[in-house]
Amino acid sequence: MTRGRLKQITAALELRPALVGALSALLLLIIWSIWALAAETRHSSFVGPLELLRQLYLLATQGYGGTPLWVHIGASLFRTSAGFIAGAIVGIGVGIAMGCSPIISSALAPFFSFIRPIPPIAYIPLVILWFGIGEFSKVVLIFLASFLYVALNTAAGVRAVPQDLIRVARSLGVGNFRLFYAVILPEALPYVMLGLKVALALSWAVVVAAELVAAQSGLGFLIMDAGTFFRIPDLYVGILLIGLIGLLLERGLSLFERRFVHWSGK
Amino acid sequence: MPVFTRNSSALEVVAPTCDEIAVSLDGVGHWFDGPSGRTQTLRDVNIQIKTGEFFTVLGPSGCGKTTLLNIIGGFIEAKAGDVAIFGEAVSGPGPDRGVIFQSYALFRWLSVLKNVEFALHGRKLAKAERADVALQYLDLVGLKDFRHHYPYQLSGGMKQRVAIARALAADPRILLMDEPFAALDAQMREVLQEELLEIWQRTRKTVFFITHSVDEAIFLSTRICVMSSNPGRTKALLSNDLPQPRADYRARTTAAFLENKERILGLIRDEVHPNRTREPPP
């Protein structure tokens, strides 16, 4: 009797992934709150969810280090988007060239193979030496981080266009230019989108890393500064915001993909 | 412009009235050079296909029949011999030859209607007119109601119907079909064979059809070329004199059909087991 009931509940939960997710998040919040309540007196570095919310409100209304919170967020977002957009444009261009021409692809292969395993944050000291600690050095860093993945994925997408598709288009009297923009480009688009998604996630991670080292604004600067001066709740809020904004960026791109590349994966 | 709807007049019987040569292959050969030497894929293929014929190439995989289609389509160049379409040497793909592949090769990002409209890009047509013409071809394959669907929402049989409508919309003189129904299940394959025959009888296109199914070849063609492999060459050219129209399942079990099948199976069996002696049935 009870076993049957249990089976029913399991089946019902399997059909509701959103509900299960919400429940697990709620559970985590409860455990976190209880733990925070118990640990508050012993560890000043532990902050509970309620205090976190209060601090978020304080930061949003009063700013951090004399600068409004939205300026910090805006600084990080600006660096990310400038570097990411530049990297995406150049990456798509280079990727198309690599996909269309085996010679260009072979010529660039050694550089790409060498650069790929280097984490972009390894360039931070060099970029600072070359371009200083201003905005430009961060944009360059994000550009380097995003360019690679967009280029490699675009090239893979262009190479993966089925020969039959090109032959059908050719036999319908399609010329080179039209073949490129009306057949090859849309067929490669799902690959390009995948590259953009990876590149954006990486860009966001790298911008925070770059701001940790050399910046006077931005969310990376905020958490580094808060850590240095033992403003522990601010540190938590900074991490929370980085996570939330990263999530929103990813969701935004996914929404864009579902709208404009609706055939992807089907 | 000849556009035919499903509900138009009764089927006409095509007799090859015109003796114009649509496809002419004269001593065609092809090979590729690999690390282990030269592999001959086609040797001395001589075929003349008349206008309005339904010509089928039948052969085992690896006999070079797809290479032959690619040469006629202008996708690859024959390394020996002459290839001509209506008397003109082939120099590349062109809208006079429509192709239909086993993989459908539909544009996944375009709706069914837009896929067919793609074939009309070369014609100077107003937007509404273009959609109208495309719709007529969709109607021909019975997919008018699916014009706003995308390829990923269709079954394999429907996808191949869209591909056929798209190829026809460009109004080619010759249809090149490379095992178009091989990926479909047996029932759907027979349905599409019948539909293709109906379309062929109405549009009188010349068809160059590739298959490895003996039944398919006999059911569809007016002439069958049996190929042998290593290197690919024509083993026999048979005219298929089954009565027309035969877009009917009953045509598949007539005595004439089975007779032809026996003859072709014998030819193929010789090819696969050339030295095996066959004992007469008890």
Q: How high is the pLDDT of residue B28?
A: 92
Question: Could you tell me the two tokens for A101?
Answer: 């021409």
| Cross-chain Cβ contact B122/A189 below 8 Å | no
State the pLDDT confidence band at A246, using cuts at 50, 70 and 90: very high
**How far apart, in whole angstroms, are the C-alpha atoms of residue A58 and residue A52?**
10
Tens digits of residue pLDDT in A127-157: 999 998 888 999 999 999 999 999 999 999 9
CB spacing of B150 vs A189 below 8 angstroms: no
Q: Which of B93, B108, B121 shows the shortest C-beta gap to A263?
A: B108
Contact B150 A182 (CB under 8 A): no
The CATH label, of 3.40.50.80, 1.10.1740.10, 1.10.3720.10, 3.40.50.10090, for the domain at A59-260 is 1.10.3720.10
Q: Which residue of B has its CA nearest to A260?
A: B109
3-state DSSP of chain A? CHHHHHHHHHHHHHCCHHHHHHHHHHHHHHHHHHHHHHHCCCCCCCCCHHHHHHHHHHHHHHCECCECHHHHHHHHHHHHHHHHHHHHHHHHHHHHHHHHCHHHHHHHHHHHHHHCCCCHHHHHHHHHHHHCCCHHHHHHHHHHHHHHHHHHHHHHHHHCCCHHHHHHHHHCCCCHHHHHHHHHHHHHHHHHHHHHHHHHHHHHHHHHHHHHHCCCCCHHHHHHHHHHCCCHHHHHHHHHHHHHHHHHHHHHHHHHHHHHCCCCCC
pLDDT value at residue B1 = 42
A164 touches chain B (CB under 8 A): yes
Nearest chain B Cα distance for residue A172, angstroms: 5
Spatial distance between the Cα atoms of A31 and A23, rounded to a whole number of angstroms? 12
With CB atoms and an 8 Å threshold, state whether A178 touches B93. Answer: no
Distance from CA of A93 to the nearest CA of B (A): 21
B76 in contact with chain A, both atoms CB, cutoff 8 A: no
Omega into B281 within 30° of 0, i.e. cis? Answer: no
Q: Which of these, B99, B98, B68, lies nearest to B83 by C-alpha position?
A: B68
Cβ pair B93:A187 closer than 8 A:
no
Q: Using a CB-CB distance cutoff of 8 angstroms, which residues of chain A are in contact with residue B109?
A: 186-187, 189, 261, 263
CA–CA gap between residue B107 and residue B14 (Å, rounded)? 33
pLDDT confidence of A239, banded at 50, 70, 90?
very high
Q: How many CB pairs under 8 A join A and B?
A: 67
> Taking CB atoms and an 8 Å cutoff, what residues of chain B touch A187?
107-109
Annotated domain spans of chain B = 21-96+174-272, 106-171
Q: Are strands B233-239 and B223-228 parallel, antiparallel or unpaired?
A: antiparallel
Task: Quote the pLDDT of residue A28.
Answer: 92
Q: A242 with A208: CB under 8 angstroms?
A: yes
Q: Are B150 and A263 in contact (CB under 8 A)?
A: yes
Residue B111: closest C-alpha in chain A? A263
Instruction: Give the amino acid at B112.
Output: V
Nearest to B98 among A171, A262, A266 (CB): A171
Report CB contact under 8 Å: B101, A178: no
Name B101's Cβ contacts closer than 8 Å, sequence gap at least 6: A164, A167, A168, B163, B178, B180
Say what the pLDDT of residue B200 is: 92
Q: How far apart are CA B230 and CA B237, in angstroms?
A: 18
pTM of the model: 0.83
Tell me whether residues A162 and B103 touch, CB distance under 8 A: yes
Residues 150-189 of B with CB under 8 A from A: 150-152, 163, 166, 170, 172, 176
Eight-class DSSP state of B113: H
Q: Is B94 within 8 Å of A189 when comparing Cβ atoms?
A: no
Contact B109 A186 (CB under 8 A): yes
| CATH number for the domain running over B21-96+174-272 | 3.40.50.300
Mean pLDDT calculated for residue range A169-174: 93
Considering only CB atoms, which chain B residues are within 8 Å of A178?
Answer: 121
Least Cα separation, residue A170 to chain B (angstroms): 6
Tell me what ipTM this predicted complex has.
Answer: 0.86
What is each CA distance from B132 to A86, A169, B6, B45, B276, in whole angstroms?
A: 43, 21, 16, 42, 58
pLDDT at A76: 94
CB B231 within 8 A of CB B40: yes
Low-confidence ranges of chain B (pLDDT < 50): 1-17
Q: Confirm if A36 and A51 have CB atoms less than 8 A apart.
A: yes
pLDDT value at position B13? Answer: 42
Residue A204 has pLDDT above 50, yes or no: yes
A183 touches chain B (CB under 8 A): yes
d(CA B210, CA B225): 10
CB A263, CB B109: distance < 8 Å: yes
Residue at A11: amino acid letter: A
B124 touching A, CB under 8 A? Answer: no
Asked if A263 has any chain B CB less than 8 Å from its own CB, the reply is: yes
Instruction: Closest CB to B105: pick one of A164, A261, A262.
Output: A164
pLDDT digits (tens, 9 = 90+) for A2-59: 788 899 988 988 899 899 999 999 999 999 888 888 776 666 677 888 888 888 998 8
Chain A contact set for B150 (CB, 8 A): 262-263, 266
pLDDT given for residue A130 in this prediction: 93
Q: Please report, for residues A165, B136, B139, B141, B154, the alpha-carbon distance to residue B147 in angstroms, rounded to integers and kept in the order given.
A: 20, 11, 10, 12, 11
Q: Is A178 on the interface with B (CB under 8 A)?
A: yes
In this structure, what token pair is assigned to residue A66?
A: 């004399």
pLDDT of A66: 84
- Residue B109 touches partner A, C-beta closer than 8 Å: yes
Q: What per-residue confidence (pLDDT) applies to A256?
A: 92
Query: In Å, how far from its chain's centre is CA A208?
Result: 11
